[in-house]
């Protein structure tokens, strides 16, 4: 139950600790899961990336079906590069989760086509590709049926970066088939699942929820835990359209910045959390505004975080194709419809910034 860790009652500061009294309960969870569940509070853990990698490496040695879950809102950031190393020769099903965040007008088939093409470009050939919303229970049955179809009676490994919604997905499957609710701990904090969670399937095989690899390029690592809610959208994103003239700048809170350098008057569409404030200003005033207003008008970061908040790094792009997204990993993206535009995109040092063929 909970995060999959082995329960111990001796060392309160180590992972898996639960007080002895917890052992009498029907469903035993560790203290960390208990706090997360009841107080929405996170305790830092002592598992390293190497520990996570060791667990995942075991998958390559086994014979089973790999279900790779990505966050469609942060497709590239949550991609988990090098999956072929973990997958070995096993089949992979690719599932884009959090489809509920995209505007309803977006055609599902177009998105699936886009995912297939992007997967191929990134070196992965999945046997099938799906879109779902684990949170809303959309597309779960379809994915569950595909798993049954492609696993040929073998084990199933659900893999992905932290926070893509693996645990929510497995909970949704368990609920669909057993009626049991919230068996696995989920939260908005990256890295909730600590060890393989084994869900028995009806023929003696298992479905495993694996701990996710922490994606260090994610914006989530640079914002205060309290602000995660603000940058991770919870609802359908309402795109915001800006008619920009050359020499104008958009700030996304204080986390990212886009300078529109040249290309004539154009409309740019922003896909970010509805709660994140976008502030427009003149390029010539942008540096001073950032210096004076970071942590104030331009939040997040919070004022008390300024000393450790990384500086923004500039990435220059000349848009060469129709319909291009400028992506800020984990924060969202800005779509430019026509080529011939020059922009400079800024994000905290370490956060991925890149351009791609438009998702929408
Ligand atoms: P895991 O680390 O991959 O196991 O991810 P979790 O299942 O713990 O989910 C991480 C966060 O994403 C939680 O805040 C979930 O509520 C949220 N989440 C999961 N699935 C969906 C989804 O389909 N749509 C949306 N909007 N949020 C989701």
State how far the Cα of 332 lies from the Cα of 249, in Å rounded to an integer. 17
Q: Is the pLDDT of residue 12 over 70?
A: yes
Residue of the CA atom closest to atom 2 of ligand 1: 163
- Closest ligand 1 atom, residue 233 Cα: 26
How far, in Å, from the CA of 232 to the mean position of ligand 1? 10
Ordered structural domains, the chain, with CATH: 47-215 (3.40.50.300), 228-357 (no CATH)
Instruction: Determine the pLDDT at residue 152.
Output: 93
How far, in Å, from the CA of 198 to the mean position of ligand 1? 19
Instruction: Determine the pLDDT at residue 46.
Output: 47
State how far the Cα of 63 lies from the Cα of 256, in Å rounded to an integer. 43
How far, in Å, from the CA of 190 to the mean position of ligand 1? 10
Q: Predicted confidence band at 328 (pLDDT cuts at 50, 70, 90)?
A: very high
- Asked if residue 7 lies in contact with residue 18, where contact means CB atoms within 8 angstroms, the answer is yes
Instruction: Determine the pLDDT at residue 217.
Output: 67
Instruction: Determine the pLDDT at residue 192.
Output: 54
Instruction: Determine the pLDDT at residue 193.
Output: 56
The residues lining ligand 1, judged by C-beta closer than 6 Å to any ligand atom, are 97-98, 100-101, 133-135, 160, 162-168, 186-188, 192-193, 212, 234
How far, in Å, from the CA of 130 to the mean position of ligand 1? 16
Dump pLDDT digits (tens) for 269-295: 999 999 999 999 999 999 999 999 999
How far, in Å, from the CA of 264 to the mean position of ligand 1? 40
How far, in Å, from the CA of 187 to the mean position of ligand 1? 7
State how far the Cα of 317 lies from the Cα of 345, in Å rounded to an integer. 8
- Closest ligand 1 atom, residue 162 Cα: 2
> Which of the listed residues 168, 189, 208, 209 should we mutate to test ligand 1's pocket, taking the one with most ligand atoms within 8 A of CB?
168
How far, in Å, from the CA of 189 to the mean position of ligand 1? 9
Q: Please give the residue that has the higher pLDDT: either 270 or 208.
A: 270
Dump pLDDT digits (tens) for 119-148: 998 888 999 999 999 999 999 999 999 999
How far, in Å, from the CA of 288 to the mean position of ligand 1? 37
Least confident of 21-25, 209-213, 295-299: 209-213
ipTM of the complex: 0.98
Instruction: Determine the pLDDT at residue 32.
Output: 79
Tell me which residue of 51, 75, 79, 35 sits closest to 187, measured CA to CA.
35
State how far the Cα of 159 lies from the Cα of 162, in Å rounded to an integer. 9
Mean pLDDT of the chain: 86
Instruction: Determine the pLDDT at residue 174.
Output: 82
Tokens 């129709």, residue? 322
Q: Is the pLDDT of residue 220 over 50?
A: yes
Residue of the CA atom closest to atom 18 of ligand 1: 165
Instruction: Determine the pLDDT at residue 228.
Output: 83
> Which of the listed residues 111, 162, 165, 214 should we mutate to test ligand 1's pocket, taking the one with most ligand atoms within 8 A of CB?
165
């Amino acid at each position: 139950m909970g995060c999959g860790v082995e329960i111990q009652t001796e060392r309160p500061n180590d992972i898996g600790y639960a007080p002895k009294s917890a052992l009498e309960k029907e469903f035993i969870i560790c203290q960390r899961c208990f706090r997360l569940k009841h107080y929405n509070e996170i305790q830092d853990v002592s598992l390293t990336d190497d520990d996570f990698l060791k667990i995942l490496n075991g998958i390559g040695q086994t014979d089973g079906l790999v279900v790779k879950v990505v966050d469609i809102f942060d497709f590239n950031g949550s991609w988990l590069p090098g999956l072929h190393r973990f997958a070995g020769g096993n089949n992979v099903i690719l599932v884009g989760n959090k489809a509920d965040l995209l505007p309803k007008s977006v055609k599902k088939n177009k998105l699936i086509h886009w995912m297939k093409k992007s997967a191929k470009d990134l070196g992965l050939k999945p046997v099938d590709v799906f879109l779902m919303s684990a949170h809303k229970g959309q597309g779960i049955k379809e994915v569950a049926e595909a798993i049954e179809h492609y696993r040929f009676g073998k084990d199933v490994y659900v893999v992905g970066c932290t926070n893509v919604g693996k645990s929510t997905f497995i909970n949704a499957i368990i609920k669909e088939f057993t009626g049991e609710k919230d068996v696995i701990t989920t939260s908005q904090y990256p890295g909730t699942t600590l060890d393989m969670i084994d869900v028995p399937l009806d023929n003696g095989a298992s479905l495993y929820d694996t701990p996710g690899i922490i994606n260090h390029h994610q914006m989530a690592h640079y914002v205060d835990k309290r602000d995660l809610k603000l940058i991770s959208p919870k609802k359908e994103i309402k795109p915001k359209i800006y008619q920009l003239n050359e020499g104008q700048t958009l700030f996304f809170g204080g986390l990212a910045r886009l300078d529109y350098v040249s290309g004539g008057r154009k409309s740019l569409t922003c896909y970010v959390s509805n709660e994140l404030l976008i502030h427009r200003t003149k390029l010539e005033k942008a540096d001073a505004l950032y210096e004076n207003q970071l942590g104030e008008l331009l939040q997040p970061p919070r004022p008390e975080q300024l000393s450790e908040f990384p500086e923004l790094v500039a990435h220059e792009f000349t848009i060469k194709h129709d319909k291009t997204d400028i992506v800020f990993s984990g924060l969202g993206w800005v779509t430019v419809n026509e080529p011939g535009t020059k922009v400079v995109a800024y994000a905290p040092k370490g956060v991925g910034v890149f351009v791609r063929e438009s998702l929408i």
